[in-house]
Amino acid sequence: MSETSSTSPAIRSEYTYAFLILRLWLGLRALFAGLEKFEKSGSYSFQAYYENMARMASGITGASFLPLWATKLFAMSTGYLLIVLGVTLLLGIKTRLTLLAHGLLYVALSFGLMVVQEGEGVAWLGVHVILVVGGLLLAQYNRFALVRE
């Protein structure tokens, strides 16, 4: 019994560090995934963002049953959502809620890729979903946060 209690703080700190590393990775990944949507020919702009997202929405609509209004609505918000979720996760603001939103966004993105039969993209997003689930399971060890639940 004393062995368990003496190793318990060490185990908690290992989980804390594991969660911090995962949180930072997921936050950076989301932030840069959002920022890259603003890029065209090496420069970043709002015009590039709206062109890129309109092209993405049209491509998904053209290859699936989803209507253009739905794909455009989703596409136009995706970059901003990724940036906001990335920053909030990096800062540790409402971490569980942010992770839940991350997971739901990745599921929605996966759905869009599933309907156009883009298996490789779905697999990559599946890995992200698994990482988010791991983050949610480790969220109880979140010791480095600006705003806690």
- Measure the CA angle with vertex 128, ends 121 and 17; round to 5°: 155
| Contact between 95 and 145 (Cβ < 8 Å) | yes
DSSP per residue over 41-78, as a string? TTEE-HHHHHHHHHHHHHHHHHTSS--HHHHHHHHHHH
| Contact between 143 and 13 (Cβ < 8 Å) | no
pLDDT digits (tens, 9 = 90+) for 74-123: 999 999 999 999 999 999 999 999 999 999 999 999 999 999 999 999 99
* Ranges of each domain in the chain: 27-141
pLDDT digits (tens, 9 = 90+) for 43-87: 999 999 999 999 999 999 999 999 999 999 999 999 999 999 999
Helix H segments across 92-143? 95-115, 119-138
Q: Which two tokens stand for residue 101?
A: 């939103």
| Contact between 26 and 89 (Cβ < 8 Å) | yes
